[in-house]
Amino acid sequence: ETGVTQSPTHLIKTRGQQVTLRCSSQSGHNTVSWYQQALGQGPQFIFQYYREEENGRGNFPPRFSGLQFPNYSSELNVNALELDDSALYLCASNAGGGLDNEQFFGPGTRLTVL
């Protein structure tokens, strides 16, 4: 059984650019969630995908969007990057379609926006 993986590990972009982050769910999991963790803060829920549909969203603007694929892997896309988007982006998967199930986290992608 493999755990949650994320790519890339680190990324540097400039303001106004677009970025795509990737996540592979743990084997057997059909639900994926994305979180933004700024330095010194707890993770903030961005959104969740269940069976390829968005199934919940936090307080993030529409320029944060996502996709889930038939194999349950996922992408987080951020358009028109801002300096405040610099953060660690975490992906978590679980089995069952809900946020009340145990979340299994990946190692994160560190995004720096210059």
**Residue 43 CB, nearest distance to another protein (Å)?**
5
Task: Determine the Cα–Cα distance for residues 107 and 114; give it in Å rounded to an integer.
Answer: 23
56 binds another protein (CB under 8 A): yes
Instruction: Give the tokens for residue 110.
Output: 């560190």
Contact 91, 84 (CB under 8 A): no
For residues 68 to 97, the per-residue mask of contacts with another protein, x marking binding by CB under 8 A and - elsewhere, is: ----------------------x-x-----
26 binds another protein (CB under 8 A): no
- DSSP classification of residue 39: T
Contact 5, 12 (CB under 8 A): no
The residues of the shown chain that bind another protein, judged by CB under 8 A, are: 3-4, 33, 35, 40-45, 48, 55-58, 90, 92, 99-100, 102-107
